[in-house]
Structure 1
Amino acid sequence: MLSTIFHLILLLVLAFITISSETVNGILLTITPAAVETKPELVQFSIEPIELPELAPVEAASDHGLASQVEVAPLLSEITLAQPQAFAPEMSRINPFSQLPKTSGASLGTSQNVGEVSSMFSGRTGKKKQELLAKYGGTQATEDAVALGLAWLKRQQRTNGSWSMRGPYRDGSLMENETAATAMAMIAFMGAGNTHRSGKYEREVMNATQWLVKQQNRVGFMAERANDHEKMYAQGLATIALCELYGMTHDYWLRPYAQLACDFAVDAQSPQGGWRYQPKFDSDTSVTGWFLMGLKSGEAAGLDVDRYVFMNIEKYLDTVGGRGYDQGYSYQVGEEATRSMTAEGLLCRQYLGWQRNRPEMTHGLGSFVAKDPIDRRDSDVYYWYYATQALHHYGGPLWQKWNDKMRVELPAMQEKNGGEQGSWSPVNDAWGAYGGRLYTTCFSLYSLEVYYRHMPLYAGQAPAAAEEDDK
């Protein structure tokens, strides 16, 4: 009882005591037990390193050689383009390259055309290459010429991995275009089965690839330093080179570069349906053919290519010819048809899905064999390049007649001695003074590699009736 009374009195006394807020400097913590006992867990994160490809070292004789590894995401500068004087004043304020939007990268789907398969490049090596050589009329002489030509190209490669249109060889071009020169040489090496991972010229292709991808800027353009009217030619060739190399190897680090080149091509297509000297502005059959082959190479390699780009090319080709029974193709709308543009136009039509038995194709290709066969007195490696490809795809007696001359005349025109052994002289060629020795050599090699460079589009299809009449 006494204890109870004492504590009650103590509690009443404490109740009347007030504490100033200025004297409170502590923190009241209330701790209650958790309903469920938790135990922290340690989570381990593992970041796997990305292995970059081992690049072959460049034999640098100067301080301008490249680093020994490809930068998968290099810092790329935007294009600075000299303004074309032929444009209207309002156009001169626009840099057409910097205005290009990026594609989403999502394909709308692509359709396989006649004979087109993902193994477009599968005949360039091994047993398949030998089978195609025998089937389509290649000889030891054509293969020896290819070997000699590639050896010449190897000797011309510069220490940084690129090639030059001007030299150091004789009879170079009057104008420089390193991107075009490098892409052309790469295409010649790859046509014979060389890549940056295999082949006799593996090192040369690797060094060239290393140089070429370093030229690509954020919108995919690779020919900033070329002359205005040569930029898009070079870009088309470089697109072919990257897409073919990716298609042959499926090397993962190449895909972003090849895809970006395809995206640029799609974005740069003009309202007319083709390409010319500036993105989205005007079209001609020559530049259009190069971009079509670049995009078809990309499509065959498994890259994303908007299918509508090919429909637009068909519409453009309809405007420059090919709609009549014997009508050829012109360089631009309203001009006269020429043999080189007709050959290029017909090859484009083949890749766009024309059936082999179309009379326009039979008569067009037949006129090449009958009226304009390969003749060293009338040299035109550009025409020969396109006619050889189109006739090879077509096959049959027309191809046999063409090839009977081509496989003899082209090796015979190759220089066999001296410092330029293995090359083809540009003297007397239709565009030789403009393109120079590298141009005539590369285009001659493409023709001699035709037996296996691309798988034939119409293999196994029967000859057309009109062709039987021409035999």
Structure 2
Amino acid sequence: MNIQIVRRLGVALALGASSFTSGLRAQEEPKDRDTVYRTQTPEVDARVESATRRGLAWLASNQSKAGFWAGDVGYKVNANYRVTAPDKEHVGITALGLMAFLACGEVPGRGKYGDHVERAARYLISSSQENGYMTAQGSRMYSHAFATLALAEVYGMTKSKDLRDALGRSVQLIADSQNREGGWRYKPFAQESDMSITVCQVMALRASRNAGVFVPKNVIADAVKYVRESARNQRENEYWRTFRNRQLGVFNTGVFKYQKRPDARASFALTAAGVTTLFGAGVYEDPLIDRGLDFMLENQEEYNRTFESHYFFYYGNYYAVQAFYIAGGRRWKDYYFGSGRTTGIADFLTDRQASDGSWSCEVGPGTSFATAVATLILAIPFQYLPIFQR
């Protein structure tokens, strides 16, 4: 990957403006995306390019004037989703929508979607409370972490002071909310941890550190310890062999659990989260990573077909695509493009895109969430954002 090319194309454009209005705008127009696709990602075909363009068009047409995307605010209950605020402004979806545009090479204040990018960033900043918590309508730490990650990527482009202040408070809240286990839970300052929340926080911290925001080393070290202790061991495997529930109770050695306790469930999505957390923390060589990647490849086809149109599918593959892209090589190609035995995630998603450019989510926050995440997954190989680069 040529990082200098990526930067010249608008990913890390330096800005000198001090005001919020000018500080969120890139200084030069990004080059034509067709050129970028051909020179940077020749392996990505026209079908993927078309799908991402249509996904962005749908997101643009469904963004509110205030900058947010609406969805069903709620939380996971086992394999279900309990809605607490239907079709309301959603911090997490807005962050993911913003990331989808950034991952496709769009920048604040420039180009076809510059206004959409800028409005989304402004909305996220406006959701920041005095203590740094970014929330609306009762959204939780998932949304806060996604918002922190998105703003860190925008800050890396703009160096906006107002954005820096909000980002600094957000990072401090994440660091302060880490508990004794080394992880995080659904709400700030919770005493328990789980893998699905922890990965969000670590990736938000990684993006913030990439953008120049201070992140204490001990926070990352404690998170790595938590993740390693959350991998299923052989003794736990024997317990689960009797109670296996397909895709929700897998017993393979090396898969990652929801929580540290011995009876906690493990899954494709949690294993993707565990591997991505290690990568995000700077751990690239570990037997757990190899076993986790192999397990995901073995179970990808079944997982995707089991949870199609479920938020499990989108969440699991959002982290799986990051894990496989960083890993690279044959595993990445088999996951993204498919092998003789399995359907790659690129074909799986493009086959299921609706005629209007959206994707469906029958269990979870809704269509805006699904479309943002699906577009993001497809756009990972475009290499625009530092957090998604090898």
Distance 1:178 1:457, change over 3 A: closer
Question: Does the 8 Å CA contact 2:52/2:379 hold for their aligned counterparts?
Answer: yes
Q: How far apart, CA to CA, are the structure 2 residues paired with 1:355 and 1:424? A: 33
Q: Which amino acid aligns with 1:407?
A: A
- The within-5 A match list for 1:420-459 is 421-427=356-362, 433-451=363-381, 452-454=383-385
The answer on 1:179 being equivalent to 2:91 is yes
The structure 2 residue matched to 1:305, chosen from 198, 215, 233, is 215
Q: Name the structure with the higher helix share.
A: 2
3-state SS, counterpart of residue 434 of structure 1: coil
Distance 1:177 1:408, change over 3 A: same
Q: How far apart, CA to CA, are the structure 1 residues paired with 2:217 and 2:254? A: 27
Deviation for aligned residue 1:387: 1.2
Deviation for aligned residue 1:142: 0.7
The answer on 1:241 being equivalent to 2:150 is yes
Q: How far apart, CA to CA, are the structure 1 residues paired with 2:162 and 2:277? A: 30
Deviation for aligned residue 1:333: 2.0
1:398 corresponding residue in structure 2: 331
2:351 corresponding residue in structure 1: 412
Deviation for aligned residue 1:132: 3.5
1:362 corresponding residue in structure 2: 290
Deviation for aligned residue 1:342: 0.5
The structure 1 residue matched to 2:41, chosen from 108, 133, 136, is 133
Distance 1:372 1:203, change over 3 A: same
1:290 corresponding residue in structure 2: 200
The answer on 1:331 being equivalent to 2:258 is yes
Question: Does the 8 Å CA contact 1:376/1:409 hold for their aligned counterparts?
Answer: no
Q: Which amino acid aligns with 2:41?
A: L
Question: Does the 8 Å CA contact 1:270/1:279 hold for their aligned counterparts?
Answer: no
The answer on 1:343 being equivalent to 2:284 is no
Q: How far apart, CA to CA, are the structure 2 residues paired with 1:262 and 1:146? A: 30
Deviation for aligned residue 1:240: 0.9
Q: How far apart, CA to CA, are the structure 2 residues paired with 1:161 and 1:378? A: 30
Question: Does the 8 Å CA contact 2:183/2:193 hold for their aligned counterparts?
Answer: yes
Q: How far apart, CA to CA, are the structure 2 residues paired with 1:270 and 1:415? A: 42
Structure 1 unaligned residues grouped into runs of 5+ = 1-49, 56-68, 71-121, 428-432, 460-471
1:9 corresponding residue in structure 2: none
Query: Normalized against structure 2, the TM-score is what?
Result: 0.76
3-state SS, counterpart of residue 314 of structure 1: helix
Deviation for aligned residue 1:51: 5.2
Q: Which amino acid aligns with 1:438?
A: S
The answer on 1:389 being equivalent to 2:322 is yes
Cα shift readout 1:277-328 (whole Å, capped 9, x = no counterpart): 2222221111111111111000001111111110110121123116779321
Cα shift readout 1:135-174 (whole Å, capped 9, x = no counterpart): xx3211111101101111111111222211149xxxx994
- The within-5 A match list for 1:111-150 is 130-134=38-42, 137-150=43-56
Q: Which amino acid aligns with 2:254?
A: Q
Structure 2 unaligned residues grouped into runs of 5+ = 1-16, 25-29, 74-80, 235-251, 338-343
Q: How far apart, CA to CA, are the structure 1 residues paired with 2:40 and 2:387? A: 10
2:100 corresponding residue in structure 1: 188
Distance 1:372 1:393, change over 3 A: same
Q: How far apart, CA to CA, are the structure 1 residues paired with 2:34 and 2:223? A: 35
Q: How far apart, CA to CA, are the structure 2 residues paired with 1:311 and 1:267? A: 14
Q: Which amino acid aligns with 1:449?
A: A
Deviation for aligned residue 1:363: 2.5
Distance 1:243 1:415, change over 3 A: same
Q: Which amino acid aligns with 2:314?
A: V
Deviation for aligned residue 1:251: 3.2
The answer on 1:259 being equivalent to 2:168 is yes
Question: Does the 8 Å CA contact 1:395/1:458 hold for their aligned counterparts?
Answer: no
Question: Does the 8 Å CA contact 1:124/1:191 hold for their aligned counterparts?
Answer: no
Q: How far apart, CA to CA, are the structure 1 residues paired with 2:156 and 2:124? A: 17
Q: How far apart, CA to CA, are the structure 2 residues paired with 1:124 and 1:333? A: 47
Q: Which amino acid aligns with 1:321?
A: A
Question: Does the 8 Å CA contact 1:413/1:424 hold for their aligned counterparts?
Answer: yes
Q: Which amino acid aligns with 2:110?
A: S
Answer with 1 or 2: which has the greater Rg: 1
Question: Does the 8 Å CA contact 1:165/1:173 hold for their aligned counterparts?
Answer: no
Question: Does the 8 Å CA contact 1:347/1:386 hold for their aligned counterparts?
Answer: yes
Deviation for aligned residue 1:241: 1.3
Percent of residue pairs identical: 26
3-state SS, counterpart of residue 112 of structure 2: coil
Total equivalences in the alignment: 327
Q: Which amino acid aligns with 1:142?
A: V
The answer on 1:201 being equivalent to 2:110 is no
Question: Does the 8 Å CA contact 2:255/2:266 hold for their aligned counterparts?
Answer: yes
Deviation for aligned residue 1:375: 4.1
Query: Normalized against structure 1, the TM-score is what?
Result: 0.64
Q: Which amino acid aligns with 2:266?
A: A
The answer on 1:54 being equivalent to 2:21 is yes
Q: Which amino acid aligns with 2:280?
A: Y
Question: Does the 8 Å CA contact 1:123/1:129 hold for their aligned counterparts?
Answer: no
